[in-house]
Amino acid sequence: LNIFTDFKNMPFTMRQLSWVQFFSWFGLFGMWVYATPAIAHHVYGLPLSDHSSKLYQDAGDWVGILFGIYNGVSAIYAFFLPAIAKKLGRKATHTYSLILGGFGLISIYLAPDPTFLIFSMVLIGISWASILAMPYAMLVGSIPAHKMGVYMGIFNFFIVIPQIINALIGGPLVKYLYAGNPVFALVTSGVAFIIAGILNLKVKDI
């Protein structure tokens, strides 16, 4: 019962950040699920029905490398995040990082060849580092110390819930709204990142 009371009485900053987290993780899940089929079809030019050819395997291997690139960029950018946040402020840093990642995801739709996707992943890596750090940095100042554990746990709901929702609606969206073309799931993820960035502008950072 207490957890429901705590949920209802979430601090204002946390309530604002929960929406930022929601759209961030909704976008991330879409990227993780649809990157390989989207890139295989849209960038490599394979038919939507092809999930087993040698070229599809090559596309999958390249996506694995690309994911390594965005994780590598994220690790490097994380070192610079404290300095950037000190200069720009935590809120502006997270907003810019999310919007850059959004453009990175949308740029996959515009990719002329597989190599271009390295650029897309650099931008996504910037977002990833910020998503893992900045919301928590903003959250800590707004939570009563004696409720820290409870509210951190509740905050993680907004990582899990958007992924569940995307898992439920992502397939039907691609099938019926996007005519089976998974690249539009990545564009949707990019838009979700940009929405998260805009919502983050309204967060009261204490």
pLDDT at 146: 79
Handedness of CA 42, 190, 30, 64 (dihedral sign): positive
Q: Which conformational region is residue 178 in: left (phi greater than 0), alpha (psi within -120 to 50 degrees), or beta?
A: alpha
For residue 76, give the amino acid letter. I
Tens of pLDDT, residue by residue over 99-109, are: 999 999 999 99
Angle at CA 65, nearest 5°, toward 189 and 106? 25
**CA-to-CA distance for 69 and 121, rounded, in angstroms?**
7
Distance CA 31, CA 53 (A): 22
pLDDT of residue 145: 79
Cα–Cα distance between 78 and 80 in angstroms, integer?
Answer: 5
Calpha distance 40→134 (Å, rounded): 33
Q: Give the SS3 label for residue 9.
A: coil
Compute the distance between CA of residue 33 and CA of residue 23 in angstroms, rounded to an integer.
16
Sheet strands (E) in the chain: none
**Residues in the chain where the model's pLDDT stays below 70:** 1, 206
Question: Based on C-alpha coordinates, what's the Rg of the chain?
Answer: 18
pLDDT for position 141: 79
pLDDT of residue 173: 96
Residue 1: per-residue pLDDT: 58
Cα separation of 47 and 63, whole Å? 17
**Phi-psi group of 39: left, alpha or beta (phi > 0 → left; psi -120 to 50 → alpha; rest → beta):** alpha
- In this predicted structure, what is the pLDDT of residue 144? 78
Fold classification of 11-43+53-200 (topology level)? Growth Hormone; Chain: A; (1.20.1250)
Q: For residue 126, give the nearest of 94, 155, 172 by alpha carbon.
A: 94
Q: What is the DSSP letter of 175?
A: I
pTM over 0.85: yes
pLDDT at position 153, please?
A: 87
